[in-house]
Amino acid sequence: MPRNPDHARHRLQEAALALFHEHGYDRTTAAEIAARAGVTERTFFRHFPDKREVLFGGQGNLEAALTAAVTGLPDDGTPLDLLHRAFRSVAPTLESKRHFSAPRQALIDRTPALKERELAKIQSLTALLTGALADRGVPAARARLAAQVGTAIFAIVMDTWFADPAKPLAEAFDAAFADLADLSQPFARPPA
């Protein structure tokens, strides 16, 4: 490892986060981030393909955890049940990182350019989950619909959880999936 043993990439992420919170995303230049991290602007763009991406570094972890969960979970119920349990399985990790993810999410929510990138990341997650479901034998069209609906629920739950962390994530997932079941059972279904 030449030059600097402590990874410049991580310093850049922290510098960016700090500066974005101080002055906002739009009024922070890549050169300023690089300067605070002690490197050159060119080095910034060697570590991140564009300015937005510096905020989405840890995204791979969540994707990996969720796809692993979908792949490894015991097989029963529907694709949506599988996703439900996969989401529950990452809930503790998500809750443990709230102190970090909440301000980051607030920044994303008030910055359109970052919101767009986040939507792209969610779509990427949807594609991965579609593939994971398909690998388990779920027909392609069904897998895609389930993954899309699943990530939609995931996004809503995360959003309401960021707004109010009172309810544990696992319960929020339970409630959201229950709401979904209600949504698509249109007419009177007499109990028992």
Partner DNA sequence: CCGCTTAATGTCAGTTACTGACATTGCAAA
Partner DNA sequence: TTTGCAATGTCAGTAACTGACATTAAGCGG
Give the binding site for DNA (CB under 7 A).
1-5, 7-8, 28-31, 34, 38-43, 45-47, 49-52
- Check: CB of residue 129 under 8 Å from CB of residue 80: no
Distance CA 11, CA 38 (A): 8
C-beta of 19 vs 143, nearer to a copy of itself? 143
| Partner in contact with 8, chosen from DNA, a copy of itself, none, beta carbon below 5 to 8 Å by kind | DNA
Minimum distance from CB of 52 to DNA (Å)?
Answer: 6
Alpha helices, H only, 38-139: 41-47, 59-72, 79-96, 98-109, 112-135
Distance CA 56, CA 58 (A): 6
Minimum distance from CB of 47 to DNA (Å)?
Answer: 6
| Partner in contact with 18, chosen from DNA, a copy of itself, none, beta carbon below 5 to 8 Å by kind | none
Minimum distance from CB of 189 to a copy of itself (Å)?
Answer: 10
- Check: CB of residue 151 under 8 Å from CB of residue 129: yes
Minimum distance from CB of 156 to a copy of itself (Å)?
Answer: 6
The SS3 assignment for 31 reads helix
